[in-house]
Amino acid sequence: MSGRFISLEGGEGVGKSTQARRLAEALIQRGVDVVLTREPGGSPGAEAVRALLLEGEGERWTPTTEALLFAAARADHVARTIRPALARGATVICDRFIDSSRAYQGAAGVDDAAIMALHAIGSGGLLPDRTLLLSLPPGEAAARAMARDGGNADRIGGRDAAYHAKVATLLASFARAERRRFRFVDAAGAEDVVTRRLLVAALDGTAG
C-alpha cells in the first residue's frame, strides 16, 4: 500500500507551518492516518543538519555546500520517516520539500539540474503527489514573520528582499510548469479560511 505525499511550499511567513498543522488535524478528524513532518529536519539526523544550515554566519556555507547539506538531510528524512510512512499507507504532510531547495539554492546560483541530480542520488528523486504553494503579498508575509520572530530571522530567512523575491518567482515558475502536482493557494485571510482552501486543493483529484 502506498500513502499520499503532500508538501507545502512558499516564502517566509506565509503560514506553511500553521497550515501544515491545521491540515493534519483536519485530515485526522476524517480518520486519516497522518504523519506531519518538516524540512530541513523530520528525522534525528536531518534535525542535526538543520542546526548546521540555519544557525551561524550568513556566508557560513557556499551555495553548493548548502545544496549538498539540504540533499543529505532530505536523504535521511526520506529514508527514515517519509518512505516508511508512505509504505504503511499514511498520508505524509511535509512543511517544505525539494521545491524549497530548487527555489532557495536556485536563487543562490545553484543549477536546477544539479539540485535534481543530488535529489536523485539521495532520495531516489521522490516527488510529492501534491504540492500546495501558499501565496501572500510580500509585505503581508513579512509582517507575519516579523510579528513571529521580532526581526530575528534564521541564517537563510534573513537574506535580503531581492533574494526572497527571486525565491518567490522560482516557486511560481515551478508551479506553472507542473500543473498536475502543484496547486496555488491564497494564504490571505483567517487561518480557518485558508485551511478550507488547502483541504480542497489537497484532495482535488482523489476519491477522499
Ligand X SMILES: Nc1ncnc2c1ncn2[C@@H]1O[C@H](COP(=O)(O)OP(=O)(O)OP(=O)(O)O)[C@@H](O)[C@H]1O
Ligand Y SMILES: Cc1cn([C@H]2C[C@H](O)[C@@H](COP(=O)(O)O)O2)c(=O)[nH]c1=O
Provide the binding-site residues for ligand X, judged by CB under 6 A: 10, 12-18, 144-145, 147-148, 157, 190-191, 194
CB of 182 to ligand X, least distance (A): 17
Q: How far is CA 127 from CA 37, 45, 69, 96, 157, in A?
A: 15, 21, 19, 12, 24
Q: Of 96 and 183, which CB lies nearer to ligand Y in the complex structure?
A: 96
Q: Are 92 and 38 in contact (CB under 8 A)?
A: no
Q: Which residues bind ligand Y (CB under 6 A)?
A: 12, 39-40, 54, 70, 96, 100-101, 104-105, 154, 156-157
- What is the DSSP secondary structure assignment for residue 134, as one 8-state letter? E
When CB distances are held under 5 to 8 angstroms depending on the partner's kind, the choice from ligand X, ligand Y, none that residue 197 binds is: none
Q: Of 47 and 203, which CB lies nearer to ligand Y in the complex structure?
A: 47
Residues 6+ apart with CB under 8 A from 194: 15, 19, 22, 134, 185, 186, 187, 188
Position with the least CB separation from ligand Y: 104
When CB distances are held under 5 to 8 angstroms depending on the partner's kind, the choice from ligand Y, ligand X, none that residue 145 binds is: ligand X
When CB distances are held under 5 to 8 angstroms depending on the partner's kind, the choice from ligand X, ligand Y, none that residue 196 binds is: none
Q: Of 70 and 84, which CB lies nearer to ligand X in the complex structure?
A: 70
Q: Of 83 and 144, which CB lies nearer to ligand X in the complex structure?
A: 144
CB of 193 to ligand Y, least distance (A): 22
Residues 6+ apart with CB under 8 A from 126: 5, 78, 82, 83, 98, 119
Q: Of 37 and 101, which CB lies nearer to ligand Y in the complex structure?
A: 101
Helices (H), the chain: 16-29, 44-54, 63-77, 83-87, 98-100, 106-107, 112-123, 138-149, 161-177, 191-203
What phi and psi, each to the nearest 5 degrees, are found at residue 144? -65, -45
CB of 48 to ligand X, least distance (A): 19
When CB distances are held under 5 to 8 angstroms depending on the partner's kind, the choice from ligand Y, ligand X, none that residue 194 binds is: ligand X
Residues 6+ apart with CB under 8 A from 196: none
When CB distances are held under 5 to 8 angstroms depending on the partner's kind, the choice from ligand X, ligand Y, none that residue 42 binds is: none
